[in-house]
Amino acid sequence: MRRLTSFPCAGETLAATLDEAPGSTGLLIVSGGNEIRIGAHRGMAELAATVAASGHPVFRYDRRGIGDSSGENSGFESTAQDISEAATAFRREAPHLTRVIAFGNCDAASALILFHAQANIDALILTNPWTIEPSADGNDLPPAAAIRSRYLEKLKNPRELLRLLTGGVNIRKLISGLAKASAKQSQPPTGLPARLATSLAATTVPVTILLAERDNTALAFADHWKSATFAPARITATLTTCPTDSHSFARPADKAWLTEQVLAALDPYPTSPRA
């Protein structure tokens, strides 16, 4: 059964949805970007229904300033209290819970890495964590890892080589892309990626990372993941990739893969309340 609810956060009222189930381990879904709790292509609502049918309660919500929630949207870095209050509300609405596992895609995954500890989250399921920061020169090219991957694919395609030879390629854009792509692979992360590495190294909860292998956001994260800075996280976290370019796992096969991975991450935990 799915029902609507709400909870307070910093003087605002946040809208939420609970898919009820008898299990003592629940899934808290945190929306990424400016998406409402239903998710891209209804993906999070469908995932919630499937997970609840397997026995795990699922709680979704709109953060401040998004969807049906009041307040101002200040971006994912300002959502520590939203996540904490959502976890508290989940436990209040489903008092039989003994564990809360959190799921997030894109910048919601990054927010969970940074802020899960203060919300007393028991495990993390992270898809395509966001590591991309604005360029100092305002250049909005894709991350270097994504450009390298794209050019490699193009070099394998005779039609793309013909376009280059016949003037069908924007040379200025090509030069800019090549310059960025030539940046040293797996440089030591700074800024947000470094903070994510530090938080992952310090966490004491199980972490499952799921990547859409041809998605630009996932490619950027995978590039950082190979660096020495993320070495401590690689020891404890598990990382699995899906052969897709869909950031939100929108295609039927991608949805099925994501659902399978989420249920597998939940599998070690009971679906019945403790006696």
Domains with residue ranges and CATH for the chain: 2-131+189-266 (3.40.50.1820), 134-188 (no CATH)
pLDDT interval class at 166 (50, 70, 90): low
Q: Is the pLDDT confidence value at 211 over 80?
A: yes
> If you average pLDDT over residues 101-110, what whole number do you get?
98
8 A C-beta contact, residue 57 and residue 97? yes
Full-model pTM: 0.83
CA 254 to chain centroid: 15
pLDDT for the residue 275: 40
CA 178 to chain centroid: 28
Residues 6+ apart with CB under 8 A from 268: none
Q: How far apart are CA 272 and CA 275, in angstroms?
A: 9
Q: Which of 130, 107, 128, 113 is nearest to 242 (CA)?
A: 128
Question: Angle, nearest 10°, between helix axes 171-181 and 144-155?
Answer: 120
Q: Is the pLDDT confidence value at 231 over 90?
A: yes
pLDDT for the residue 267: 85
Token pair of 209 as six digits: 């990372």
Residues 6+ apart with CB under 8 A from 15: 4, 6, 37, 61, 62, 67, 68, 69
For the chain, percent of residues with pLDDT exceeding 70: 77
Q: Between these two residues, 82 and 133, which has the higher pLDDT value?
A: 82
8 A C-beta contact, residue 59 and residue 89? yes
pLDDT interval class at 51 (50, 70, 90): very high
Residues 6+ apart with CB under 8 A from 161: 154, 155
pLDDT for the residue 133: 82
CA 190 to chain centroid: 20
pLDDT for the residue 28: 98
Lowest-confidence segment of 45-54, 141-150, 252-261 by average pLDDT: 141-150
Q: Which amino acid, 121?
A: I
Q: Is the pLDDT confidence value at 232 over 90?
A: yes
Q: Is the pLDDT confidence value at 273 over 50?
A: yes
Q: Between these two residues, 215 and 274, which has the higher pLDDT value?
A: 215
> If you average pLDDT over residues 15-22, what whole number do you get?
98
Beta pairing partners, 5: 16
pLDDT for the residue 160: 55
Q: How far apart are CA 219 and CA 245, in angstroms?
A: 10
- Locate all alpha helices (DSSP H) within the chain, ordered by sequence: 43-53, 80-93, 107-115, 144-155, 158-165, 171-181, 191-202, 216-225, 231-236, 252-266
